[in-house]
């Protein structure tokens, strides 16, 4: 896993996502599609630079955050700008689609 990816949980989520653009991957270790999404998240983190933060939230370890965003299926990916959802995806997404969403949110 890339060291560029932040690991967020119930205690630090709000603080880490309140400013700027953040891509958040809600996942779980037992989820097959989540394991397919993981290397794509790593690639996005390597390519995004200072334009945005890239983070993961393990829904088993952080049920409060997942519940507060109504996460019912994983992987769910949110693009947040200053703590507000600007884009939401359910299921495995391509690096290109995620980079495009980050670029749009950064405008």
Structure tokens at 95: 């690096």
Q: How far is CA 58 from the centre of its chain?
A: 10
Q: At what angle do helices 32-48 and 95-105 cross, to 10 degrees?
A: 50
Distance CA 62, CA 38 (A): 18
**Active site annotation includes 36:** no
Are 19 and 82 spatial neighbours (Cβ–Cβ below 8 Å)?
yes
Active site residue 38: no
Active-site annotation holder among 5, 8, 21, 34: 34
Catalytic pick among 6, 31, 90, 92 = 31
Rounded to whole angstroms, how far apart are CA atoms 9 and 95? 24
Looking at the annotation, which residues are catalytic? 31, 34
């Amino acid at each position: 896993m890339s060291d560029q990816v932040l690991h967020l949980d119930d205690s630090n989520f709000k603080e880490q996502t309140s400013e700027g653009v953040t891509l958040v991957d809600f996942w779980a270790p037992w989820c097959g599609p989540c394991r397919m999404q993981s290397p794509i998240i790593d690639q996005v983190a390597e390519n995004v630079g200072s334009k945005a933060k890239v983070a993961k939230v393990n829904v088993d370890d952080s049920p409060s955050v997942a519940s507060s965003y109504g996460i019912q299926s994983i992987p769910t990916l949110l693009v947040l700008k200053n703590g507000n959802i600007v884009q939401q995806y359910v299921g495995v997404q391509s690096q290109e689609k995620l980079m495009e969403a980050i670029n749009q949110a950064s405008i």
